[in-house]
A = this chain, B = another copy of it.
Amino acid sequence: MVIVMESAATTEQLDEVLRQVKASGFRPHINDGVERKVVAVLGEVDIDKVELVDQFENLPGVEKVNLISAPYKLSSRQYHPEDLVVRVGKVSIGGTHVVVGAGPCSVESLEQIMEVAKAVQAAGASLLRGGAFKPRSSPHSFQGLGEAGLEMLATAGQATGLPVVTEVMDAQDVPLICRYAQMLQIGARNMQNFTLLRAVGQCGQPVLLKRGPGARIKDLLQAAEYVLCEGNQQVVLCERGIITFEDITRNTTDINAVPVLKELSHLPVILDPSHSTGDWRWVTPIARAAIAAGADGLLVEVHHDPQHARSDGKQSLRPYRFADMMAQTRAVAEAVGRTL
């Protein structure tokens, strides 16, 4: 249930609404919208009942009360009608400018991350991505350089002026990652690691939440809800392909998810064509498609020597191909009224 205040509602009226919400045993969350404030009313029991509407609709300063049938509330557009713009350092995600995060799957050495960082920055990337803690299906695969990798990533970020996004795999590591990175990534396999979601919800840093390969769109929005409920509104959603019967590609890019998520939620949506296809040959056309469908950005794997990459070499673009991808995608962005 959301309580939409009148645009002229006073602070006292708002306070009274909040007081009554709490007195009824619920938790209020306020969205300070540009035009009018919206109060989400949350609680364990289902509060989206017609009976409760009357209780709040007659309070002074209340314009209307809307029930939210979806199981996600704070990640819903009904609570936050305007597009959200998430800020990562000087970069804004969710505005007119399309944002591209790029970098290697894994940080492998300072030389490697510096070389790739400079290349992607030169080609127009706004964020530097790279993994130091790697979730790998097999315990026998390379697991990342850990904190040493974070240091290299931070160095490359500072050298290029690119804010850094990297994955956090465990709630205990959140403070460590926050020291080195400007944005925390929740990987696809951890999309429903609720302890981790709460932890990043409490840290205040912007969060990049990847959709799980077996997760429905509504599951992704409920996962985002875990972060939002802890008071952290800076969440960007990332479509990275779902698991289906099609086996030529690594995953199936759910391109439908882009307009669906933009309609259901105010959170920015980006797409990762590297994982959603699994092959560098198809990254550029899918990057173009993502922007054409309305995505707010891209997350792309780039490596200067893919054949010797310690992970995901097959789906990594070489720097010159990444530059070409940027040029092609920029043309599409302009065709849909955006910049890149």
Contact = CB atoms under 8 A, between A and B. Distances in A.
Nearest to A137: B222
A252 B244 contact: yes
Contacts of A291: 292
A105 to B, nearest CB: 15
A222 B189 CA distance: 14
Interface string A227-252: 00100000000000011111111001
Interface in A282-302: 282, 285-286, 288-294
Contacts of A195: 169-170, 172
A334 B336 CA distance: 11
A13 interface: no
Nearest to A188: B192
Interface stretch (A54-62, A109-117, A253-261): A253-261
Contacts of A171: 170, 172
Interface string A200-241: 000000000000111111110011011001000000000000
Given A192-B135, A255-B253, A263 B281 contact: yes
A322 interface: no
Contacts of A135: 192, 194
A10 interface: no
A139 B189 contact: no
Contacts of A177: none
Contacts of A335: 331-332, 334-335
Contacts of A89: none
A169 B194 contact: yes
Nearest to A27: B140
Contacts of A320: none
B256 A277 contact: yes
Contacts of A256: 246, 248-249, 252-253, 276-277, 282, 286
Nearest to A331: B335
Interface in A152-204: 169-172, 189-190, 192-195
Contacts of A336: 288, 328, 331-332
Contact of A192 (B189, B215, B216): B189
Contacts of A189: 192-194
A42 B140 contact: yes
A216 B246 contact: yes
A247 B244 contact: no
Contacts of A331: 335-336
Nearest to A219: B137
A288 B334 CA distance: 13
A140 B294 CA distance: 30
A185 to B, nearest CB: 15
A241 B257 CA distance: 13
Nearest to A194: B135
A331 B137 CA distance: 39
Given A135-B194, A256-B286, 20 more contacts: A44-B141, A137-B223, A169-B193, A212-B214, A214-B215, A214-B245, A216-B245, A252-B254, A258-B289, A259-B281, A259-B282, A263-B282, A285-B293, A285-B294, A289-B289, A289-B293, A292-B293, A328-B336, A332-B332, A334-B335
